[in-house]
Chains A and B, each alone.
Chain A
Amino acid sequence: DGGITQSPKYLFRKEGQNVTLSCEQNLNHDAMYWYRQDPGQGLRLIYYSQIVNDFQKGDIAEGYSVSREKKESFPLTVTSAQKNPTAFYLCASSSPGQSYGYTFGSGTRLTVV
Chain B
Amino acid sequence: RKEVEQDPGPFNVPEGATVAFNCTYSNSASQSFFWYRQDCRKEPKLLMSVYSSGNEDGRFTAQLNRASQYISLLIRDSKLSDSATYLCVVPDFTSGAGSYQLTFGKGTKLSVIP
Task: Give the interface of A toward B (CB within 8 A).
Answer: 30-31, 33, 35, 40-43, 45, 48, 50, 88, 90, 94, 96-102, 104-107, 109
Contact = CB atoms under 8 A, between A and B. Distances in A.
B106 A42 contact: yes
Interface of B: 8, 31-32, 34, 36, 41-46, 49, 51, 87, 89, 91, 93, 95, 97-102, 104-107
Contacts, number: 57
Contacts of A99: 49
Contacts of A40: 8, 106
Contact of A101 (B36, B93, B107): B36
Nearest to B30: A98
Given A90-B43, A104-B44, A42 B101 contact: no
A107 B40 CA distance: 12
